[in-house]
Amino acid sequence: MTTTSLLSGAQARVTHRVHLQESMWAALHTATTPLLLVTGQADEKFGVISGHIQKVARASRSVTSVSVPGAGHAVQEERPWAVVAALAQWLPTVST
């Protein structure tokens, strides 16, 4: 067995697992647990997803969405204090 065939087999197994993961988009619309979704405003990779998250947040009482200016996909690394500020503002709104 060659290295290439071993890697191909491993990739096929990983890809198969990924496709078995259930989509959580429908669950966002019905969420009852408070959720804070923080995205980077300049996230090119997930810009479409971020737009969808914004719509869900506007339609749900449980979902709050924050888009951080000047941050891309790794918002927690690029603008950590903006993420901390979003959490600090959001946490007092969550009832226990």
- Domains of the chain, first to last: 24-93 (3.40.50.11320)
Could you tell me the maximum CA-CA distance found in the chain, to the nearest angstrom?
58
Enter the tokens of residue 19.
Answer: 């496709």
The pTM is what? Answer: 0.65
pLDDT at position 76, please?
94
pLDDT in tens, 9-25: 545 555 555 556 677 77
